[in-house]
């Protein structure tokens, strides 16, 4: 792996919160990636909702397959730009570790339960998982990841939470939200790879589910262009192969656009090292036309898929499950696993416990505690 001067170099890492001797053959970022893959939270992603509830079908994306697709896209872009592939892989595989069961519906419900109690943000929770909640090592809580991996995991953070984190860890991963600088180029890249991944796979899952049609998505210029080109080159192509060929072309166009637009920006800014890149404003980017096209696709998916009446119906029930679980554990903490029940800040412990659940564990617990069966698998 040849690293560009502006790439994150493991030899110049800002290190781990608990110092550790280097590994004999792996860099610190490889080691972070390996710790993430072996974590409990990572294995739970396989039973957590991305958009479609986990039990609605075996072929829909889960948080796990989404994270693997983000890692694939991020690595494909990192290599030609000379960025650190191990770091982008670590960030991509960890970026959704803090997600609740039932996707954004679960996160919104948990945030509402935690109003006035510190709130709940899934990005912050991802950091909390790797910093505190994983229990694997004798000497410390969490996975003790490198600064650069943690910086990438904390993708967004409200000002009030950033101020709090800054007090606990001065000059640490939250500082950039207060001083307006950017994270490493690898972290910037994972953000875009996340967007590219869900735009593409939600078209696939949306059409597979029957909630949207290929003809409908073909009205969106970005997808429509590639669908028309696929049809022109392969007049007999239809059904799933036409869908996949169109998505493949769209993915390639987005990936090559990010590589070209980012190269152009790197040439203009010429950051001498990773810290100069952090100070230079956003660098990893789409070209303006593709940024607008991507936003239009996101808007389409929001209006036609994420807000589809059938998705909204499951959203309402999922929020009810999370709210009921929160109230049940809050009033009866002994119903939680022992480690959570013993925590002094009970609402936070309940939020940690509920956020860590897979969809199906949450449903089982909900039935056990309330006697009601919601979102039953068909
Ligand atoms: Mg994601």
Per-residue pLDDT reduced to its tens digit, 347-371: 999 999 999 999 999 999 999 999 9
Distance (Å) from CA 143 to ligand 1 centroid: 20
> What is the pLDDT at residue 57?
74
Distance (Å) from CA 56 to ligand 1 centroid: 20
Distance (Å) from CA 185 to ligand 1 centroid: 17
Distance (Å) from CA 96 to ligand 1 centroid: 6
Q: How far is CA 352 from the centre of its chain?
A: 17
> What is the pLDDT at residue 36?
98
Distance (Å) from CA 54 to ligand 1 centroid: 16
Distance (Å) from CA 50 to ligand 1 centroid: 8
- Which tens digit of pLDDT belongs to each residue from 160-192? 999 999 999 999 999 999 999 999 999 999 999
* pLDDT level of residue 132 (50, 70, 90 thresholds): very high
- Give, rounded to a whole angstrom, the gap between the first and last alpha carbons of the chain: 48
Mean pLDDT in residue range 33-40: 98
Distance (Å) from CA 261 to ligand 1 centroid: 22
Instruction: Report the predicted TM-score, pTM, of the whole model to 2 decimal places.
Output: 0.96
CATH number for the domain formed by residue range(s) 28-310: 1.10.3210.10
Q: Is the pLDDT of residue 59 over 90?
A: no
* pLDDT level of residue 49 (50, 70, 90 thresholds): confident
Distance (Å) from CA 371 to ligand 1 centroid: 33
Of all residues in the chain, what percent carry a pLDDT higher than 70?
99
Q: Is the pLDDT of residue 71 over 70?
A: yes
- Which tens digit of pLDDT belongs to each residue from 138-168? 999 999 999 999 999 999 999 999 999 999 9
Q: Which of 223, 18, 243, 20 is nearest to 141 (CA)?
A: 18
Residue 16: φ, ψ to 5°: -105, 160
Compute the distance between CA of residue 86 and CA of residue 76 in angstroms, rounded to an integer. Answer: 12
Q: Is the pLDDT of residue 249 over 80?
A: yes
Q: Is the pLDDT of residue 378 over 70?
A: no
Q: Is the pLDDT of residue 56 over 90?
A: no
Q: Which of 151, 137, 123 is nearest to 13 (CA)?
A: 151
What's the half-sphere exposure (Cβ side, CA atoms, 13 Å) at 255? 20
* pLDDT level of residue 13 (50, 70, 90 thresholds): very high
Mean pLDDT in residue range 183-204: 97
Distance (Å) from CA 212 to ligand 1 centroid: 21
Distance (Å) from CA 337 to ligand 1 centroid: 28
Distance (Å) from CA 70 to ligand 1 centroid: 7
Q: Is the pLDDT of residue 263 over 90?
A: yes
Mean pLDDT in residue range 321-345: 95
Distance (Å) from CA 344 to ligand 1 centroid: 31
> What is the pLDDT at residue 377?
63
Distance (Å) from CA 168 to ligand 1 centroid: 27
> In the chain, what are the domain boundaries?
28-310, 311-370
Distance (Å) from CA 250 to ligand 1 centroid: 19
Stretch among 58-62, 117-121, 236-240, 262-266 having the lowest mean pLDDT: 58-62
> What is the pLDDT at residue 345?
94
Q: Which of 193, 228, 217 is nearest to 303 (CA)?
A: 217
Q: What is the DSSP string of 259-289?
A: HHHHHHHHHHH--SSHHHHHHT---S---HH
Distance (Å) from CA 260 to ligand 1 centroid: 23
Mean pLDDT of all residues in the chain?
95
Distance (Å) from CA 85 to ligand 1 centroid: 18
Distance (Å) from CA 338 to ligand 1 centroid: 30
Q: Is the pLDDT of residue 33 over 80?
A: yes
Distance (Å) from CA 119 to ligand 1 centroid: 20
Of all residues in the chain, what percent carry a pLDDT higher than 90?
91
Residue reference for tokens 């948990």: 110
> What is the pLDDT at residue 235?
97
Residue 171: φ, ψ to 5°: 70, 15
What does DSSP assign to residue 22? P
Compute the distance between CA of residue 363 and CA of residue 338 in angstroms, rounded to an integer. Answer: 20
Stretch among 43-47, 62-66, 309-313 having the lowest mean pLDDT: 309-313
Distance (Å) from CA 123 to ligand 1 centroid: 10
> What is the pLDDT at residue 126?
97
Distance (Å) from CA 272 to ligand 1 centroid: 30
Asked if 58 and 69 count as a contact pair (C-beta separation under 8 A), the reply is: no
Distance (Å) from CA 360 to ligand 1 centroid: 20
Mean pLDDT in residue range 114-143: 96
């Amino acid at each position: 792996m040849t690293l560009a001067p502006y790439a994150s170099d493991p030899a110049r890492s800002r290190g781990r919160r608990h110092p550790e001797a280097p590994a004999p053959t792996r860099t610190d970022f490889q080691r972070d990636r390996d710790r993430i893959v072996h974590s409990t939270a990572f294995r739970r992603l396989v039973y957590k909702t991305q958009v479609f509830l986990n039990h609605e079908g075996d072929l829909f994306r889960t948080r796990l397959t989404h994270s693997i697709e983000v890692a694939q896209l991020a690595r494909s872009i990192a290599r030609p730009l000379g960025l650190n592939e191990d770091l982008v892989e670590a960030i991509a595989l960890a970026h959704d570790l803090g997600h609740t069961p039932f996707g954004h519906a679960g996160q919104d419900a948990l945030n509402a339960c935690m109003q006035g109690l510190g709130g709940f943000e899934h990005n912050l929770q991802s950091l909390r998982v790797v910093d505190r909640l994983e229990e694997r090592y004798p000497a410390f809580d969490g996975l003790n990841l490198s600064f650069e991996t943690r910086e990438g995991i904390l993708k967004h953070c409200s000002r009030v939470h950033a101020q709090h984190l800054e007090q606990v860890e001065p000059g640490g991963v939250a500082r950039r939200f207060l001083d307006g600088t950017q994270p490493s180029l690898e972290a910037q890249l994972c953000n875009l790879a996340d967007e590219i991944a869900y735009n593409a796979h939600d078209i696939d899952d949306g059409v597979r589910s029957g909630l949207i049609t290929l003809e409908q998505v073909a009205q969106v210029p970005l997808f429509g262009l590639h669908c028309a080109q696929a049809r022109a080159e392969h007049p007999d192509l239809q059904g799933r192969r036409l869908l996949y060929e169109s998505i493949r072309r769209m993915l390639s166009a987005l990936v090559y656009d990010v590589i070209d637009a980012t190269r152009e920006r790197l040439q203009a800014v010429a950051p001498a090292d990773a810290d100069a890149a952090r100070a230079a404003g956003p660098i990893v980017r789409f070209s303006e036309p593709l940024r607008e096209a991507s936003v239009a696709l996101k808007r389409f998916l929001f209006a036609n898929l994420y807000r589809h009446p059938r998705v909204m119906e499951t959203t309402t029930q999922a929020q009810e499950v999370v709210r009921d679980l929160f109230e049940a554990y809050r009033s009866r903490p002994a119903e939680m696993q022992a480690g959570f029940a013993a925590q002094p800040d009970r609402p936070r412990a309940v939020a940690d416990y509920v956020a860590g659940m897979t969809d199906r564990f949450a449903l089982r617990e909900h039935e056990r505690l309330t006697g009601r069966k919601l979102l039953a698998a068909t």
